[in-house]
Each structure stands twice: as C-alpha cells, then as structure tokens.
Structure 1
Amino acid sequence: MANISLHDTSQATLAGAVAAFAAVGEVVATWRRRARERRELANLDHRTLRDLGISPTDVQFEADKPFWRG
C-alpha cells in the first residue's frame, strides 16, 4: 500500500504560490520604477538634456513608451 502524505504536497504548493507571488511583485516593482524614471526624464530641462547628450526627441520616444515595455 502506498504511503501518501498530503502535508508535503501542500507545502510544495504553498512554496510555489509564494514564489509566484514574489515574482509578480518584482514585475510590478519594475513597472513602477520604469514609469517613475520616464516621468523624471520627461521633466528634465533642455540644458540638463544637452549636458547628458540626450535629444528631446529621444526623451519623448522613451517617455511615450508604456511602462510594461523595457
């Protein structure tokens, strides 16, 4: 007769769920960071952009990207 332990299976399922939740949290954190960085970039003045060697066109292109696109 087979000895089946539901306890081990439930721990594995819980560990998988926690790992999946953590992965989703990392993705959301990345999206929030991208959105914030793009807003900050869009708010830089022309002098700062020139000092950084970034054109206003490049800034507009980056700022117009959706947060989920890298």
Structure 2
Amino acid sequence: MTDLETLGARVDHLEMRFAHQDHVIDELNNTITEQWKHIDALTRRLVALGDRVQEAAVNAGSSAPEPPPPHY
C-alpha cells in the first residue's frame, strides 16, 4: 500500500467512526429528551399531590374535632 492508500484508508475509518458516533449521540439525545418529558410530568403530578395534601391538612384542621368512638 502506498502512503496515499494508507491515508485514504485511515480517513475512511475515521469517517465511519464519526458517522457511528453521530448516530449514537442522536440516540442518546432522543433518550434524554424522552426522560425529561417523563420527569416534567412526574414533577407536575408531585406538585399537584403536594397541593392536595396541603389543602386536605388545612381543611382537616378547620373542622370540629371528631368525637371519640363509642367503645372509648
């Protein structure tokens, strides 16, 4: 092999590696994007549940105390 053929083979190898790495980066980016969508949805649900718990605690504190059960 001449130096030019060796150089061409090296460039071809680097181009293949670059194409593969570019594909992997795109796949990882898509995975991360989907995970962030799930994290955002779960965060919104957690905030909503926290609001509901806080509202329930406020409503429970403002009502009259419940009398003890009859067997007490």
TM (norm. structure 1) is: 0.55
Q: Give 1:15's aligned amino acid.
A: L
Q: Which residue of 1 aligns with 2:21?
A: 22
Q: Give 1:20's aligned amino acid.
A: A
Q: Does 1:10 align with 2:9?
A: yes
**Higher helix proportion, which one?**
2
Q: Which residue of 2 aligns with 1:31?
A: 30
Structure 1 vs Structure 2 CA RMSD: 2.2
TM (norm. structure 2) is: 0.53
2 CA distance for matches of 1:8 and 1:28?
Answer: 30
Runs of 5+ unmatched residues, structure 1: 50-70
Identity of aligned residues (%): 4
Q: CA deviation at 1:25?
A: 1.1
Structure 1 counterpart SS, 2:43: coil
Runs of 5+ unmatched residues, structure 2: 49-72
